[in-house]
Amino acid sequence: MTSSAASMPTINRAVRLASRPHGEPTSDNFVLDDEPTAEPGPDELLLRTIYLSLDPYMRGRMSEAESYAVPVPVGGVMEGGTVCEVVATRSDLYEVGDIVLAHTGWQQYAVASDKAVRRIDPARAHITTALGVLGMPGFTAYAGLLVIADPQPSETVVVAAAAGPVGSAVGQIARIKGARAVGIAGGPDKVAYVKDELGFDEAIDHRAPDFVDQLAAATPGGIDVYFENVGGKVFEAVLPRMNEFGRIPVCGLVSQYNATGTPEGPDRLPALMNRILVRSLTVRGFIQREFVRLHYRPFQEEMGDWVAQGKIRYREHVVEGLDNAPDAFVGMLKGTNFGKLLVQVGSDPTTS
Protein backbone atom coordinates (compact mmCIF):
# COMPACT_ATOMS: atom_id res chain seq x y z
CA MET A 1 0.00 0.00 0.00
CA THR A 2 1.25 3.47 -0.85
CA SER A 3 0.06 6.42 1.16
CA SER A 4 0.47 10.09 1.84
CA ALA A 5 2.14 10.18 5.25
CA ALA A 6 0.98 13.69 6.09
CA SER A 7 -2.60 12.83 5.23
CA MET A 8 -3.08 9.39 6.79
CA PRO A 9 -6.19 9.74 8.95
CA THR A 10 -7.11 7.74 12.04
CA ILE A 11 -10.65 9.04 12.65
CA ASN A 12 -13.46 9.35 10.13
CA ARG A 13 -16.41 11.64 10.77
CA ALA A 14 -19.66 10.62 9.08
CA VAL A 15 -23.26 11.81 8.95
CA ARG A 16 -25.68 8.93 9.50
CA LEU A 17 -29.43 8.63 9.19
CA ALA A 18 -30.69 8.72 12.78
CA SER A 19 -34.39 8.31 12.00
CA ARG A 20 -36.78 8.39 9.06
CA PRO A 21 -38.52 11.76 8.69
CA HIS A 22 -42.28 12.17 8.68
CA GLY A 23 -42.87 15.10 6.38
CA GLU A 24 -40.07 17.65 6.20
CA PRO A 25 -36.67 16.37 7.40
CA THR A 26 -35.03 18.14 10.31
CA SER A 27 -31.52 18.11 11.70
CA ASP A 28 -32.76 15.58 14.29
CA ASN A 29 -32.99 12.98 11.52
CA PHE A 30 -29.19 13.01 11.24
CA VAL A 31 -26.40 12.17 13.65
CA LEU A 32 -22.68 12.90 13.46
CA ASP A 33 -20.51 9.90 14.25
CA ASP A 34 -16.76 9.46 14.70
CA GLU A 35 -15.20 6.07 14.01
CA PRO A 36 -11.81 4.58 13.11
CA THR A 37 -10.86 5.05 9.49
CA ALA A 38 -11.02 1.87 7.41
CA GLU A 39 -8.00 0.53 5.54
CA PRO A 40 -8.13 -0.33 1.85
CA GLY A 41 -7.85 -3.92 0.68
CA PRO A 42 -6.51 -5.22 -2.63
CA ASP A 43 -7.56 -3.05 -5.59
CA GLU A 44 -9.05 -0.49 -3.21
CA LEU A 45 -8.40 3.17 -2.40
CA LEU A 46 -8.69 5.24 0.74
CA LEU A 47 -10.34 8.49 -0.28
CA ARG A 48 -10.48 11.87 1.44
CA THR A 49 -13.65 13.78 0.63
CA ILE A 50 -13.09 17.28 -0.74
CA TYR A 51 -16.62 18.09 -1.94
CA LEU A 52 -19.96 16.42 -1.25
CA SER A 53 -22.97 16.92 -3.51
CA LEU A 54 -26.38 17.51 -1.93
CA ASP A 55 -29.30 16.64 -4.20
CA PRO A 56 -33.10 16.37 -3.87
CA TYR A 57 -33.09 12.63 -4.64
CA MET A 58 -31.53 12.05 -1.22
CA ARG A 59 -34.87 12.78 0.41
CA GLY A 60 -36.20 9.60 -1.18
CA ARG A 61 -33.29 7.60 0.24
CA MET A 62 -34.37 8.63 3.73
CA SER A 63 -37.75 6.96 3.25
CA GLU A 64 -38.82 3.32 3.05
CA ALA A 65 -41.43 4.17 0.41
CA GLU A 66 -41.18 2.33 -2.91
CA SER A 67 -38.57 3.92 -5.13
CA TYR A 68 -36.01 3.13 -7.81
CA ALA A 69 -33.23 2.63 -5.26
CA VAL A 70 -32.70 0.94 -1.91
CA PRO A 71 -33.20 3.36 1.02
CA VAL A 72 -30.39 4.27 3.38
CA PRO A 73 -30.82 2.08 6.47
CA VAL A 74 -31.32 3.79 9.81
CA GLY A 75 -27.81 4.10 11.21
CA GLY A 76 -26.27 4.05 7.74
CA VAL A 77 -24.08 6.75 6.24
CA MET A 78 -26.10 9.13 4.08
CA GLU A 79 -25.29 8.49 0.46
CA GLY A 80 -24.10 11.01 -2.08
CA GLY A 81 -21.70 11.83 -4.85
CA THR A 82 -18.27 13.10 -3.89
CA VAL A 83 -15.05 14.47 -5.29
CA CYS A 84 -12.15 12.96 -3.38
CA GLU A 85 -8.37 12.79 -3.15
CA VAL A 86 -6.63 9.42 -3.05
CA VAL A 87 -4.67 9.31 0.23
CA ALA A 88 -3.75 5.61 0.22
CA THR A 89 -3.89 3.00 -2.52
CA ARG A 90 -3.56 -0.72 -3.09
CA SER A 91 -4.37 -0.35 -6.76
CA ASP A 92 -2.14 -0.13 -9.81
CA LEU A 93 -4.68 2.19 -11.47
CA TYR A 94 -4.45 5.18 -9.12
CA GLU A 95 -1.74 7.04 -7.27
CA VAL A 96 -1.78 9.04 -4.06
CA GLY A 97 -2.88 12.58 -4.89
CA ASP A 98 -5.18 11.62 -7.76
CA ILE A 99 -8.54 13.40 -7.76
CA VAL A 100 -11.52 11.13 -8.41
CA LEU A 101 -15.28 11.20 -8.70
CA ALA A 102 -16.84 8.72 -6.28
CA HIS A 103 -20.08 7.94 -4.47
CA THR A 104 -18.83 7.63 -0.91
CA GLY A 105 -21.52 9.63 0.88
CA TRP A 106 -21.58 12.06 3.78
CA GLN A 107 -18.22 11.30 5.39
CA GLN A 108 -14.67 12.56 5.52
CA TYR A 109 -12.94 9.32 4.49
CA ALA A 110 -14.05 6.18 2.71
CA VAL A 111 -12.66 3.05 1.10
CA ALA A 112 -13.73 2.40 -2.49
CA SER A 113 -12.94 -0.10 -5.22
CA ASP A 114 -10.70 1.23 -7.97
CA LYS A 115 -13.46 0.19 -10.41
CA ALA A 116 -16.05 2.40 -8.64
CA VAL A 117 -14.32 5.75 -9.19
CA ARG A 118 -13.38 7.91 -12.15
CA ARG A 119 -10.32 10.12 -12.44
CA ILE A 120 -10.94 13.87 -12.74
CA ASP A 121 -8.62 16.18 -14.65
CA PRO A 122 -8.40 19.46 -12.69
CA ALA A 123 -6.90 21.16 -15.76
CA ARG A 124 -10.11 20.63 -17.75
CA ALA A 125 -12.49 22.39 -15.37
CA HIS A 126 -12.72 23.06 -11.66
CA ILE A 127 -13.26 19.76 -9.84
CA THR A 128 -16.63 20.87 -8.41
CA THR A 129 -18.11 20.70 -11.92
CA ALA A 130 -17.84 16.90 -11.77
CA LEU A 131 -20.72 17.05 -9.27
CA GLY A 132 -22.68 19.67 -11.19
CA VAL A 133 -22.74 20.90 -14.74
CA LEU A 134 -20.31 18.20 -15.97
CA GLY A 135 -21.68 15.54 -13.64
CA MET A 136 -24.96 13.91 -12.71
CA PRO A 137 -27.14 17.08 -12.76
CA GLY A 138 -25.77 18.19 -16.12
CA PHE A 139 -26.17 14.71 -17.58
CA THR A 140 -29.72 14.52 -16.24
CA ALA A 141 -30.55 17.71 -18.11
CA TYR A 142 -28.76 16.62 -21.28
CA ALA A 143 -30.25 13.14 -21.52
CA GLY A 144 -33.74 14.01 -20.35
CA LEU A 145 -34.07 16.91 -22.74
CA LEU A 146 -32.30 15.63 -25.83
CA VAL A 147 -33.10 11.91 -25.70
CA ILE A 148 -36.68 12.05 -24.42
CA ALA A 149 -37.98 15.45 -25.52
CA ASP A 150 -35.83 16.14 -28.62
CA PRO A 151 -36.73 19.85 -28.83
CA GLN A 152 -36.91 21.30 -32.33
CA PRO A 153 -36.04 24.83 -33.47
CA SER A 154 -38.81 27.33 -32.65
CA GLU A 155 -40.49 24.98 -30.17
CA THR A 156 -41.15 26.24 -26.65
CA VAL A 157 -39.43 24.45 -23.78
CA VAL A 158 -40.55 25.21 -20.22
CA VAL A 159 -38.54 24.02 -17.24
CA ALA A 160 -39.33 24.21 -13.53
CA ALA A 161 -36.65 24.92 -10.90
CA ALA A 162 -34.84 26.79 -13.66
CA ALA A 163 -32.24 28.34 -11.37
CA GLY A 164 -31.13 24.93 -10.11
CA PRO A 165 -28.34 22.78 -11.56
CA VAL A 166 -30.62 20.64 -13.73
CA GLY A 167 -33.15 23.26 -14.80
CA SER A 168 -30.55 25.87 -15.66
CA ALA A 169 -28.77 23.41 -17.96
CA VAL A 170 -32.05 22.33 -19.58
CA GLY A 171 -32.95 25.84 -20.65
CA GLN A 172 -29.50 26.67 -21.95
CA ILE A 173 -29.28 23.45 -23.96
CA ALA A 174 -32.73 24.16 -25.39
CA ARG A 175 -31.48 27.57 -26.55
CA ILE A 176 -28.40 26.00 -28.13
CA LYS A 177 -30.74 23.70 -30.08
CA GLY A 178 -32.76 26.68 -31.34
CA ALA A 179 -35.82 26.35 -29.09
CA ARG A 180 -37.41 29.03 -26.91
CA ALA A 181 -36.61 28.56 -23.23
CA VAL A 182 -39.02 29.62 -20.49
CA GLY A 183 -37.83 29.16 -16.93
CA ILE A 184 -39.91 28.93 -13.79
CA ALA A 185 -38.12 29.83 -10.56
CA GLY A 186 -38.89 30.93 -7.01
CA GLY A 187 -38.30 34.57 -6.13
CA PRO A 188 -37.20 37.70 -8.03
CA ASP A 189 -33.46 37.08 -7.63
CA LYS A 190 -33.65 33.64 -9.20
CA VAL A 191 -35.97 34.89 -11.94
CA ALA A 192 -33.52 37.67 -12.79
CA TYR A 193 -30.62 35.20 -12.84
CA VAL A 194 -32.46 32.86 -15.22
CA LYS A 195 -33.39 35.66 -17.62
CA ASP A 196 -30.42 38.00 -17.44
CA GLU A 197 -27.43 35.72 -16.74
CA LEU A 198 -28.49 32.40 -18.25
CA GLY A 199 -30.18 33.95 -21.26
CA PHE A 200 -33.59 32.26 -21.12
CA ASP A 201 -36.17 33.91 -23.38
CA GLU A 202 -38.55 34.34 -20.46
CA ALA A 203 -38.50 33.68 -16.73
CA ILE A 204 -41.42 33.77 -14.30
CA ASP A 205 -41.92 33.44 -10.57
CA HIS A 206 -44.10 30.55 -9.42
CA ARG A 207 -44.68 32.41 -6.16
CA ALA A 208 -46.30 35.37 -7.92
CA PRO A 209 -50.07 35.69 -7.34
CA ASP A 210 -50.60 35.98 -11.10
CA PHE A 211 -48.29 33.08 -11.96
CA VAL A 212 -50.85 31.39 -14.21
CA ASP A 213 -51.36 34.60 -16.20
CA GLN A 214 -47.59 35.15 -16.46
CA LEU A 215 -47.15 31.62 -17.77
CA ALA A 216 -49.79 32.21 -20.44
CA ALA A 217 -48.13 35.45 -21.50
CA ALA A 218 -44.72 33.77 -21.70
CA THR A 219 -46.05 30.88 -23.83
CA PRO A 220 -48.44 32.48 -26.33
CA GLY A 221 -48.05 29.56 -28.71
CA GLY A 222 -48.44 26.93 -26.02
CA ILE A 223 -45.79 24.55 -24.64
CA ASP A 224 -44.10 21.80 -26.64
CA VAL A 225 -41.75 20.46 -23.96
CA TYR A 226 -42.13 20.68 -20.19
CA PHE A 227 -39.16 19.41 -18.20
CA GLU A 228 -40.67 18.44 -14.85
CA ASN A 229 -38.64 18.95 -11.69
CA VAL A 230 -41.29 20.13 -9.26
CA GLY A 231 -44.87 18.87 -9.68
CA GLY A 232 -47.71 20.38 -7.69
CA LYS A 233 -49.22 23.71 -8.69
CA VAL A 234 -46.56 24.34 -11.33
CA PHE A 235 -47.53 21.20 -13.22
CA GLU A 236 -51.21 22.06 -12.84
CA ALA A 237 -50.58 25.42 -14.50
CA VAL A 238 -48.45 23.95 -17.30
CA LEU A 239 -50.64 21.01 -18.28
CA PRO A 240 -53.50 22.99 -19.92
CA ARG A 241 -50.95 24.82 -22.09
CA MET A 242 -49.32 21.70 -23.52
CA ASN A 243 -49.50 21.51 -27.30
CA GLU A 244 -50.45 18.46 -29.32
CA PHE A 245 -47.63 15.88 -29.32
CA GLY A 246 -46.01 17.65 -26.37
CA ARG A 247 -43.33 15.84 -24.37
CA ILE A 248 -42.93 15.82 -20.59
CA PRO A 249 -39.70 14.29 -19.24
CA VAL A 250 -40.32 13.72 -15.51
CA CYS A 251 -37.04 14.19 -13.67
CA GLY A 252 -38.25 15.04 -10.17
CA LEU A 253 -41.23 16.06 -8.03
CA VAL A 254 -39.56 18.05 -5.29
CA SER A 255 -42.78 19.72 -4.15
CA GLN A 256 -44.13 16.30 -3.18
CA TYR A 257 -41.09 14.72 -1.50
CA ASN A 258 -42.22 15.67 2.01
CA ALA A 259 -45.89 14.74 1.52
CA THR A 260 -47.35 12.47 4.17
CA GLY A 261 -50.58 11.63 2.34
CA THR A 262 -52.57 12.22 -0.83
CA PRO A 263 -53.42 15.85 -1.71
CA GLU A 264 -56.72 17.25 -0.56
CA GLY A 265 -59.43 18.08 -3.07
CA PRO A 266 -60.98 16.33 -6.04
CA ASP A 267 -59.35 13.43 -7.87
CA ARG A 268 -57.39 15.06 -10.72
CA LEU A 269 -56.24 11.82 -12.32
CA PRO A 270 -59.14 11.59 -14.82
CA ALA A 271 -58.45 15.13 -16.04
CA LEU A 272 -54.75 14.34 -16.39
CA MET A 273 -55.38 11.19 -18.38
CA ASN A 274 -57.87 13.01 -20.59
CA ARG A 275 -55.33 15.73 -21.38
CA ILE A 276 -52.68 13.12 -22.18
CA LEU A 277 -55.12 11.42 -24.53
CA VAL A 278 -56.61 14.40 -26.36
CA ARG A 279 -53.26 16.16 -26.78
CA SER A 280 -51.31 12.98 -27.60
CA LEU A 281 -48.77 13.80 -24.90
CA THR A 282 -45.72 11.73 -24.06
CA VAL A 283 -45.04 11.62 -20.31
CA ARG A 284 -41.81 9.78 -19.53
CA GLY A 285 -40.25 9.32 -16.13
CA PHE A 286 -36.53 8.64 -16.15
CA ILE A 287 -33.42 8.13 -14.06
CA GLN A 288 -30.25 9.44 -15.69
CA ARG A 289 -28.31 6.21 -15.21
CA GLU A 290 -30.39 4.44 -17.87
CA PHE A 291 -28.76 6.65 -20.53
CA VAL A 292 -25.15 6.32 -19.39
CA ARG A 293 -24.02 3.57 -21.76
CA LEU A 294 -25.02 5.35 -24.98
CA HIS A 295 -24.99 9.00 -24.08
CA TYR A 296 -22.50 9.77 -21.29
CA ARG A 297 -19.46 10.12 -23.53
CA PRO A 298 -21.23 12.47 -26.00
CA PHE A 299 -22.45 14.46 -23.01
CA GLN A 300 -18.94 14.85 -21.65
CA GLU A 301 -17.67 16.04 -25.00
CA GLU A 302 -20.53 18.38 -25.90
CA MET A 303 -21.19 19.81 -22.45
CA GLY A 304 -17.48 20.26 -21.86
CA ASP A 305 -17.21 22.25 -25.08
CA TRP A 306 -20.30 24.33 -24.28
CA VAL A 307 -18.97 25.21 -20.83
CA ALA A 308 -15.52 26.06 -22.19
CA GLN A 309 -17.09 28.28 -24.88
CA GLY A 310 -19.32 30.07 -22.36
CA LYS A 311 -22.51 28.75 -23.97
CA ILE A 312 -23.46 27.01 -20.73
CA ARG A 313 -23.16 28.96 -17.50
CA TYR A 314 -23.57 27.58 -14.03
CA ARG A 315 -23.70 28.67 -10.43
CA GLU A 316 -22.53 26.85 -7.31
CA HIS A 317 -23.59 27.27 -3.68
CA VAL A 318 -20.84 25.95 -1.43
CA VAL A 319 -21.35 25.32 2.29
CA GLU A 320 -18.27 24.87 4.47
CA GLY A 321 -17.91 21.83 6.74
CA LEU A 322 -19.48 18.37 6.92
CA ASP A 323 -21.20 19.31 10.19
CA ASN A 324 -23.32 21.81 8.26
CA ALA A 325 -24.54 19.27 5.67
CA PRO A 326 -27.82 18.36 7.45
CA ASP A 327 -29.01 21.98 7.77
CA ALA A 328 -27.94 22.73 4.20
CA PHE A 329 -29.88 19.72 2.93
CA VAL A 330 -33.03 20.66 4.85
CA GLY A 331 -32.77 24.18 3.45
CA MET A 332 -32.31 22.91 -0.10
CA LEU A 333 -35.67 21.13 0.03
CA LYS A 334 -37.19 24.51 0.89
CA GLY A 335 -35.38 26.27 -1.95
CA THR A 336 -32.93 28.29 0.13
CA ASN A 337 -29.88 27.41 -1.99
CA PHE A 338 -29.02 29.31 -5.15
CA GLY A 339 -27.26 27.05 -7.65
CA LYS A 340 -25.71 23.60 -7.32
CA LEU A 341 -25.44 22.84 -3.61
CA LEU A 342 -22.09 21.47 -2.45
CA VAL A 343 -20.46 20.92 0.91
CA GLN A 344 -16.72 21.49 1.12
CA VAL A 345 -15.71 18.72 3.47
CA GLY A 346 -11.94 19.12 3.25
CA SER A 347 -9.23 21.28 1.72
CA ASP A 348 -9.07 21.54 -2.05
CA PRO A 349 -5.51 20.82 -3.25
CA THR A 350 -6.30 22.16 -6.71
CA THR A 351 -6.86 25.70 -5.44
CA SER A 352 -4.17 25.93 -2.75
Please give the model's pTM, rounded to 2 decimal places. Answer: 0.89
Residue 286's CB is within 10 A of a number of other CB atoms, namely 16
> Distance between CA atoms of 152 and 234, rounded to whole angstroms?
23
186, part of any domain:
yes
Domain count, the chain: 2
CATH number at residue 123: 3.90.180.10
Q: Which residue has the higher pLDDT, 326 or 70?
A: 326
* Secondary structure (DSSP) of 151-165: --TT-EEEESSTTSH
Residue 5: band (very low, low, confident or very high) from pLDDT cuts 50, 70, 90: very low
One domain, residues 56 and 197: no
310, part of any domain:
no
> Distance between CA atoms of 172 and 54, rounded to whole angstroms?
22
Provide the 8-state DSSP code for 73: P
Cα 166–Cα 168–Cα 169 angle in degrees, nearest 5: 65
> Distance between CA atoms of 238 and 99, rounded to whole angstroms?
42
Question: Quick check: 94 and 2 in contact, CB under 8 A?
Answer: no
User: Which residue segment(s) compose the domain that 332 sits in?
Assistant: 2-132+315-344
Q: Which residue has the higher pLDDT, 298 or 265?
A: 298
One domain, residues 75 and 206: no
Q: Tens digits of per-residue pLDDT, 110-142?
A: 999 999 999 999 998 999 999 999 999 999 999
Helix (H, G, I), strand (E, B) or coil at 254: helix
Provide the 8-state DSSP code for 262: P
